[in-house]
Chain A
C-alpha cells in the first residue's frame, strides 16, 4: 500500500499517544519542522481512509468546556504500516547514500 507524505506524518504523530484532530495538525507541523501544514480537509480525508482500513481507531471523546473532541490512536495494523514505511524509507536512503558515496568518494 502506498503512503502519501502527510499520511506518514499523521501516523508518526499518533505513534506516541492518542491525539485529537487539531493535536495531530500541530504534531505534524512540529515533526516536519513547519514544512507540512495540514488543512482540516486533508487531515480528515486521510483519517477517514486510515480508519476505514483499520490503521487508526477512535480513542474516545473529551469535553473541555466546548464541544467534544474526538481522539484517534494507532492500531496494531497502523503500527505495522508505519514501521514498514519507515523501513522502506531507510532502505531507499541507504541505497541513495551508497550510490552517492561511490560517485563522490
Chain B
C-alpha cells in the first residue's frame, strides 16, 4: 500500500466511523470502500471519500424526512430560519456588517453546492436569500427603479436586488431538482 493509499484508507475509515449514521452497516461499507480504494487511481480515491461524505448527508436527510417532499420543504425552511437567526445573533454580538453579508451569501451558496445529497439545504438557502430579498429597503429600491427611466446609471441597490432575485430563483430550481432526485430510488 502506498503512502497516498494508506492516507486515503485512513480517511475513509474516519469518515465511515465518525460521519455515517448508525442506521447503515458501517463494516459492510468499510469492506466495499477498501476494495474500491485499492483499485482506484488518485482521482477515483478522492471521489470515493467524497461519495462517503455525501452518503452521510443523504442518509441523515432520508432518516429525518423519509424523502417526502413536504417534510423536506418544511425542515429546509426551518433550517433557513435558524440560519437567519444565527446571522442576526452574530450581528448583535459584534460581527461586522460586511462579515454578516459575506456569510449570508457564502453559507447558502455552500449549502446549495451540497444539496445534491440533502435537498433540505437547497430549501434552506432559498429561504435565507428570499428573506434577504424581502428585507430590502423597498422604498429606496422603487425610487432607484423610477430613476432608471431618466438616468441610465444602474444603482448598486438595483444590481444587488437583481443578483439576490437571481439567487432565489436558482436556489428554488436547484431545490426542486434535489427534491425530485430524493424521490427517485
Contact = CB atoms under 8 A, between A and B. Distances in A.
A41 B58 CA distance: 9
A2 interface: yes
A68 B185 contact: no
Nearest to B25: A70
Contact of A69 (B28, B55, B183): B28
A39 B165 CA distance: 36
Interface string B135-149: 000000000000000
B29 interface: yes
A45 B25 contact: no
A70 B31 CA distance: 9
A95 interface: no
B176 interface: no
A25 B52 contact: no
Contacts of B31: 20-22, 66-70
Interface stretch (A48-56, A86-94, A97-105): A48-56
A21 B25 CA distance: 11
Interface in B82-97: none
A32 interface: no
Given A39-B47, A39-B51, A44 B185 contact: no
Interface in A25-66: 25, 37, 39-46, 48-50, 53, 55, 66
B8 interface: no
Most interface-central of A22, A44, A55, A69 (chain B CB within 10 A): A44
Interface stretch (B32-40, B72-80, B99-107, B122-130): B32-40
A7 interface: yes
B54 interface: yes
A39 B46 CA distance: 10
Contact of B28 (A4, A21, A42): A21
Interface of B: 23-25, 27-33, 35-36, 44, 47-48, 50-55, 58-59, 62, 67, 181, 183-185
24 contacts: A2-B184, A2-B185, A20-B32, A21-B35, A22-B31, A22-B36, A25-B32, A25-B36, A40-B29, A40-B33, A40-B55, A41-B51, A41-B52, A44-B32, A45-B54, A45-B55, A45-B58, A45-B59, A49-B67, A53-B185, A66-B31, A67-B30, A67-B31, A68-B31
